[in-house]
């Protein structure tokens, strides 16, 4: 490798600089950093590694201060060619230096590096040799597999380049029927806009109450969806029956990937029987392919592949669309301050439980 230099470009130039890097992801965009700053106080900073004029690696780094200390996180990054282990070694060394300068308790990375493919214990289960090599580089440099996974560790990816007929052929027979059922029974799909946010939130809160997951206040989603939509990294699709919204999806897209970020549906069982959620996923894939995206990410699969995992139920819904289950290496942490790192990870679970109890009041 020739001389590699580290620099910090302005936020305004960020997305254009990283768009074509391997693994380019919506959660590495400037808009996502700005949203995290406004909503939860994380401070974004932007880091590039160039070889000559060529961008070889990048990381949008989020930092939160805890008095004189900090915690740091690179969501779905750093971005680089992970088959280049020398480049990974250099970038990880620089990130460690950045964390020491910030007096960080930890710096967390969370790249889309495949560890294995297929469901564990099945004929499709196969390890990825490059993923193993990446983990070995990180261990040698002092990183550790994190006890705290922020993003989904596993997901299902659908290759949009194969075309609509091949995608439909890859679905289960029952899923193909469900996808085709809605349009024959009055379900239509339209693009959404910021004018739909209030309705979308009401439907999302309804879904959360039905399925038992925690939802944040409306203001949080107003900023999240609004900032990503304004930046051109979000697309909304809404399913309706006779003009009544019955389901929606929020898509985030950037680089070569479009991901199904969240979805919601009505609690009306008669309307749910019209399969609007299945149709929405199909229309989302068709939209993403038309925009030139190569991959549709169904955004989340179980960590434990049995019914004890909270994602087990939705996994069946997603798995029937076909695609490939990928298992990533997950989040990895480096700490310049090991005693504080241990204390931090002992205290955080208790703090989260307390916050959840307060939110329920």
What is the mean pLDDT of the segment spanning 75-80? 98
Per-residue pLDDT tens for 234-269? 999 999 999 999 999 999 999 999 999 999 999 999
Predicted confidence at residue 280, as pLDDT, reads: 98
Predicted confidence at residue 355, as pLDDT, reads: 44
List domains and CATH numbers for the chain.
4-147+331-360 (3.40.630.30), 156-326 (3.40.630.30)
Average pLDDT taken over every residue of the chain: 94
Unique residue bearing structure tokens 């798995």: 319
What angle do the packed helices 30-40 and 11-18 form, to 10 degrees? Answer: 130
Predicted confidence at residue 349, as pLDDT, reads: 66
Contact present, 149 and 330 (Cβ < 8 Å) = yes
Per-residue pLDDT tens for 97-152? 999 999 999 999 999 999 999 999 999 999 999 999 999 999 999 999 999 999 99
Confidence category of residue 316, pLDDT binned at 50, 70, 90: very high
Euclidean distance between CA atoms 120 and 138, whole angstroms: 24
Euclidean distance between CA atoms 55 and 113, whole angstroms: 19
Report whether pLDDT(351) > 60: no
Contact present, 117 and 124 (Cβ < 8 Å) = yes
Confidence category of residue 195, pLDDT binned at 50, 70, 90: very high
Task: Tell me the percentage of the chain whose pLDDT exceeds 90.
Answer: 91
Predicted confidence at residue 326, as pLDDT, reads: 98
Unique residue bearing structure tokens 């302005």: 10
Q: Which two tokens stand for residue 284?
A: 């989302």
Confidence category of residue 360, pLDDT binned at 50, 70, 90: very low
Per-residue pLDDT tens for 82-91? 999 999 999 9
Three-state DSSP state, 164:
helix
Per-residue pLDDT tens for 21-63? 999 999 999 999 999 999 999 999 999 999 999 999 999 999 9
Report whether pLDDT(282) > 70: yes
Euclidean distance between CA atoms 324 and 302, whole angstroms: 14
What is the mean pLDDT of the segment spanning 263-291? 97
Confidence category of residue 346, pLDDT binned at 50, 70, 90: confident
pTM above 0.75, yes or no: yes
Contact present, 20 and 54 (Cβ < 8 Å) = no
Euclidean distance between CA atoms 97 and 155, whole angstroms: 32
């Amino acid at each position: 490798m020739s001389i590699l230099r580290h620099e910090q470009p302005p936020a305004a130039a960020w997305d254009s600089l990283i768009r074509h890097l391997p693994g380019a992801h919506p959660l590495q965009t400037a808009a996502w950093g700005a949203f995290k700053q406004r909503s939860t106080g994380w401070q974004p900073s932007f880091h590039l590694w160039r070889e000559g004029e060529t961008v070889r690696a990048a990381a949008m780094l989020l930092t939160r201060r805890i008095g004189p200390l900090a915690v740091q996180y690179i969501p779905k990054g750093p971005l680089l060619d992970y088959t280049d282990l020398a480049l990974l070694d250099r970038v990880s060394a620089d990130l460690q230096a950045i964390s020491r300068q910030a007096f960080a308790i930890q710096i967390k990375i969370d790249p889309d590096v495949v560890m294995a493919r297929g469901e564990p214990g099945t004929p499709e289960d196969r390890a990825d040799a490059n993923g193993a090599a990446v983990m070995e580089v990180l261990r040698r440099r002092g990183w550790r597999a994190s006890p705290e996974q922020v993003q989904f560790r596993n997901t299902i990816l659908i290759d949009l380049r194969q075309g609509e007929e091949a995608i439909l052929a890859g679905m289960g027979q029952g899923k193909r029927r469900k996808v085709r059922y809605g349009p024959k029974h009055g379900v239509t799909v339209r693009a959404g806009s910021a004018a739909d946010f209030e309705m979308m939130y009401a439907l999302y809160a309804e879904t959360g109450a039905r399925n038992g997951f925690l939802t944040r206040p409306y203001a949080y989603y107003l900023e999240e969806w609004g900032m990503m939509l304004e930046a051109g990294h979000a697309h909304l699709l809404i399913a309706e029956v006779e003009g009544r919204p019955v389901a929606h999806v929020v898509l985030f897209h950037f680089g070569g990937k479009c991901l199904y970020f969240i979805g919601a549906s009505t609690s009306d069982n008669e309307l749910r029987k019209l399969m609007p959620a299945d149709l929405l996923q199909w229309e989302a894939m068709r939209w993403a392919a038309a925009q030139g995206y190569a991959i549709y990410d169904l955004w989340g699969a179980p960590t434990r592949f049995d019914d004890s995992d909270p994602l087990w139920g939705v996994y069946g819904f997603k798995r029937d669309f076909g695609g490939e289950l990928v298992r990533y290496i997950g989040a990895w942490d480096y700490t310049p301050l090991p005693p504080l790192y241990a204390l931090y990870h002992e205290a955080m679970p208790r703090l989260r439980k307390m916050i959840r109890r307060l939110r329920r009041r």
